[in-house]
Amino acid sequence: MIDVIKIGGAVIDDAAALSAVLDHCQVLQRPLIVVHGGGRRATTLAEQLGLPQTMVDGRRVTDAATLEVVVMTFAGWINTWLTAQLQARGVNAIGLSGADGNVVRATKREIQDIDYGFVGDVAAVHAGVLHGLLDGGLTPVIAPITHDGGGQLLNTNADIMASNIAASLGEQVALTYVFDHAGVLRDVADETSVIPELRAGDVAALVDSGIVTAGMRPKLDMAFAAVRAGVSSVRITNAYNLGGGTVCR
| Cross-strand pairs, 235 | 176, 247
Q: What pLDDT, on the 0 to 100 scale, is given for residue 18?
A: 98
| Cα 48 to Cα 152: distance, rounded to the nearest angstrom | 25
Q: What pLDDT, on the 0 to 100 scale, is given for residue 56?
A: 86
Burial (Cβ within 10 Å: 0-12, 13-18, ≥19) of residue 45: middle
pTM of the model: 0.95
Q: What pLDDT, on the 0 to 100 scale, is given for residue 39?
A: 86
Total count of residues recorded for the chain = 249
Q: What is the pLDDT along the chain (249 residues), one digit of tens a residue?
A: 999 999 999 999 999 999 999 999 999 989 999 999 998 899 999 999 999 999 887 789 999 999 999 999 999 999 999 999 999 999 999 999 999 999 999 999 999 889 999 999 999 999 999 999 999 999 999 999 999 999 999 999 999 999 999 999 987 999 999 999 999 999 989 999 999 999 999 999 999 998 998 778 889 999 999 999 999 999 999 999 999 999 999
| Cross-strand pairs, 55 | 60
Helical H segments across the chain, by residue range: 9-12, 15-27, 39-48, 64-70, 79-88, 127-135, 158-168, 203-208, 217-228
Q: Which CATH number, 3.40.50.920, 1.10.760.10, 3.40.1160.10, 3.40.50.700, labels domain 2-248?
A: 3.40.1160.10
